Structure 1
Amino acid sequence: MSDEQDPYRGHPAPDDAPLTQYIQALIQRLRALDRRRPLLWDLTVTGFWVLFAVLDYSTGGWRTVARNVEAPEPLVLLMSLCFSVPLLWRRSRPVTVLVLLAPVSLVNIWTGAVVQAAFLQLIPAYTIALRLPLRTLAWSAVLMCLPAAAGAIRIPGAADRQLVSYLWGFAFVALLGIAVRTRREYTEALVERAHRLERERDQQAQLAAAAERARIAREMHDIIGHNLSVITGLADGGAYAAAKSPERAGQALEAIGTTSRQALAELRRVLGVLREQAPAADLTPQPSLGDLDTLLTGVREAGLPVRLTVHGTPPPAPASPGRQLAVYRVVQESLTNTLKHAGPDATAEVTLTYTTTGLEVRATDSGGRQQTPEGEKTRGKPGGGRGISGMRERASLYNGTLESARLPAGGWQTRLRLPLEDAPP
């Protein structure tokens, strides 16, 4: 738990809080102090144990367990300081500290003084168990127990008991360090997993938002591109007919108004999903194969002769709404490109072919005698627009394929193949 997550950081725990929360709050404060000022913390801990060692010497407490109470007192004081002062480097260089304490421990057992500060060797041993590899921990056991084993030569019975005490003490701190280390690594793994899940959640949200933006962009491109092309054709035809046939010009203006209103209604439906609080959901169905006749009628009114041919028998179960929308948009985009690029003398043909496993759609135009070179170069050029790439994206959503290319004899053809059911691509 970090300082920011500590519920009692900076103020005491509530009066009705359990004892464990008081202890946890105190531990968090100590850890925070250690992180902010590690040197101050090391000096405090080392000073505490130096004071303990000096009091053990000054009060004569070492004589209660000593095997040789006649040991020189200056040597006892020196050994007490040698066992406690190096603890200042117990975290940065625990192995070095244990190596320096090994000869002091040998002198301590060999002289029979057996000062109690010798057990301070367990503190760097705990640090080794907490942070360093197990191989280093094994060598630490040798460094601690070897002086006691060597002392058995001098004082057989007493050294044996001292060796057993060292072994039990080392086993306790080693198991404690390994347990704390395991718990810490487990907690770090949980925290890392939580952070990874948060990153994955954010990435999934970004991918979903990008997919939704792409879908809306495709819909807006198809709606605006097609309707503007139809309006442009109607406006050009109306301007041409205004001088010779005012009635045809009025029909063109009426068709422009109808097409504009339809485009505006579709745009409102598509953009309505972007509102955070929509007053009511628009339940207007998306275009389907049944709306192809209406689409072709609008294109014919814009001045492009187009013919629809159907081969084969539609399956008993109709294609999914998404597949039908994909077919509709591909036909719409193909005819829009014909209106924009093929010239005024072009004709178009849409062919739907049903098979036992899928549906094939061909949209072909004848080009035109007055087709401009710029229009022919722009159609199908990478970066020239989003039409063909949008059609390919729609096809790939349903494991379909789309081909769009210039015909050798002139004109353009777009071919869409869609499976009627979900299948591996």
Structure 2
Amino acid sequence: MTPHRAPSGHNGAVSPHALRVAARRHPRAVDAGIAALVALACALVLSGRTGATVDAAGVLDWTSVVLLPVPLIWRRRAPVAVFAAATVLLIGSQALGAQSPAALGVTLTALHAVARYRPARFAWPAAAVTVLPGFDNRIEDGPAWGAFAAVSAVTVAVVLIGVNQRTRSAYLQALEDRAQRLEQDRDQRARLAVADERARVAREMHDVVAHHLAVIVALSDGAAATAALAPQRAADVMGQVSATGRQALGEMRRLVGLLRGTSRPEPGTRAPQPGLDDITALVDRVRDAGVRVSVRQDGTPGAWGPGAGLAVYRIVQEALTNVLKHAGPQAGAEVSLRYRRDAAEVSIVDDGAGRIARRPGIGDRHGLAGMAERATAYGGRLDAGPRAGPGWRVHVCLTFDRSEVLS
């Protein structure tokens, strides 16, 4: 098994990005490393090499060097408590007489953690706690204000650096959260668009397949019934079956092309979507299958666009298909179309071939669901159900706003 290696640059050195990733994954190790570096700096100063010590370092001095930076290991998790502990340890070591010339570095490191990981209302009081003891010493010892001013400036600079880092980190986190939300919203919109497209294609496939198969079955039954007595009539009917099948195949190829995303359909398969002008041919096919269909039209269609015409056509197609499937070719149906400039009222009523209609089960409502979706898309509502006597009734009123009415 190949061991995992951190990303490195061309010369084999670990990249800064890899170091930042490792630091985010192991924050406790980073804090322990910072505490160790502070302890090392204090030890270097205490060793006398910098000239900051007066007397030789004793056991108490080295013990303070080791113990003072220990709380920094928890600087990220509990910065206020760490600052308080570092301050108490510093005061206690000084009270015991330990030399700690670099102990202020421990306090400043803890102060930076307060400013970096807590709001400013915690940082500035902590800065005051760091500076005020030095102010008292200046009053007691005389005019040594230079060191006090330097310590005060360093303390303020540490707080400002920590606050700036905290603000920048919060800003970057907000940007990341916003980008993640935008990505999630985009993915959700894409999924909804895909679901809507699938539902639309499924609705179209149901309308096409169900209608043409119902017509083919009815025509085939009629041809079989008349084959012995009227062979020529049966042959003509089978020709209609063939034509209906070819038309169904053409529409299926078009729908499959939409699913595959093909930009160039096969030759001879490209045709406009059916609309109001195709309702007459639709009724003729149903009549050929045996259903007695009458059509009544009032008014003139407005310039609604192809989408509205397709919706009216599919509603009439599905209603007549249901007549053919459930009532049979012996049924009679009436199609009523009332047109206004910004609305269309569609009504299909059948006699059920003298039989009482029943409401469909859950698995047989695909056609009704498709009609309801088309009606809802144009501000309408589907009213479908059994009549008081034999038969079934479908009624839809579609409303088109100004954007859908072409000028």
TM-score, structure 2 as length reference: 0.86
Aligned residue in 2 for 1:19: none
The Cα shift of 1:89 comes to: 3.6
Q: 1:181 & 1:57 partners in 2: Cα distance?
A: 33
Aligned residue in 1 for 2:369: 389
Q: Determine whether 1:117 maps to 2:103.
A: yes
Q: What SS does structure 2 have at the residue aligned with 1:157?
A: coil
The Cα shift of 1:325 comes to: 0.6
Instruction: State the AA in 2 paired with 1:314.
Output: P
8 Å CA contact 1:395, 1:416 repeated in 2? yes
Identity of aligned residues (%): 36
Unpaired runs of 5+ residues, structure 2, are none
8 Å CA contact 1:98, 1:143 repeated in 2? no
8 Å CA contact 1:289, 1:328 repeated in 2? yes
Q: What pairs up with 1:216-255 in 2 under 5 angstroms?
A: 216-255=201-240
8 Å CA contact 1:79, 1:108 repeated in 2? yes
Q: What pairs up with 1:87-236 in 2 under 5 angstroms?
A: 87-106=72-91, 115-152=101-138, 154-158=140-144, 161-236=146-221
Instruction: State the AA in 2 paired with 1:299.
Output: V
Match 1:361 to one of 333, 336, 346: 346
Aligned residue in 2 for 1:296: 283
Relative to structure 1, the CA distance from residue 364 to residue 12 in structure 2 (aligned partners, 3 Å threshold; closer, same or farther) is same
Q: 2:340 & 2:264 partners in 1: Cα distance?
A: 44
Relative to structure 1, the CA distance from residue 114 to residue 254 in structure 2 (aligned partners, 3 Å threshold; closer, same or farther) is closer
Match 1:308 to one of 278, 286, 295: 295
Instruction: State the AA in 1 paired with 2:73.
Output: L
8 Å CA contact 2:385, 2:392 repeated in 1? yes
Aligned residue in 1 for 2:394: 414
TM-score, structure 1 as length reference: 0.83
Q: What SS does structure 2 have at the residue aligned with 1:292?
A: helix
The Cα shift of 1:37 comes to: 5.0
Q: 124-133 or 269-278: which moved more?
A: 269-278
Relative to structure 1, the CA distance from residue 38 to residue 306 in structure 2 (aligned partners, 3 Å threshold; closer, same or farther) is closer
Relative to structure 1, the CA distance from residue 129 to residue 418 in structure 2 (aligned partners, 3 Å threshold; closer, same or farther) is same
The Cα shift of 1:326 comes to: 0.6
8 Å CA contact 1:83, 1:118 repeated in 2? no
Instruction: State the AA in 2 paired with 1:307.
Output: S
Q: Determine whether 1:11 maps to 2:8.
A: yes
Q: 73-82 or 170-179: which moved more?
A: 73-82
Q: How many residues align?
A: 398
Aligned residue in 2 for 1:319: 304
Q: 2:80 & 2:292 partners in 1: Cα distance?
A: 91
Aligned residue in 1 for 2:335: 350
8 Å CA contact 1:378, 1:384 repeated in 2? no
Relative to structure 1, the CA distance from residue 63 to residue 305 in structure 2 (aligned partners, 3 Å threshold; closer, same or farther) is closer
Instruction: State the AA in 2 paired with 1:305.
Output: R
The Cα shift of 1:149 comes to: 3.7
Superposed CA deviations along residues 58-113 of structure 1, whole A, max 9, x for unmatched, are 2264548xxxx579866655554454444334334433332233245447888797
Give me the CA root mean square deviation.
Answer: 3.1
Superposed CA deviations along residues 380-417 of structure 1, whole A, max 9, x for unmatched, are x4442301110111111222222112221322111121
Aligned residue in 2 for 1:47: 36
Superposed CA deviations along residues 333-364 of structure 1, whole A, max 9, x for unmatched, are 11111111124432111111123431111111
Instruction: State the AA in 1 paired with 2:337.
Output: L
Q: What SS does structure 2 have at the residue aligned with 1:408?
A: coil
Instruction: State the AA in 2 paired with 1:166.
Output: V
Instruction: State the AA in 2 paired with 1:410.
Output: P
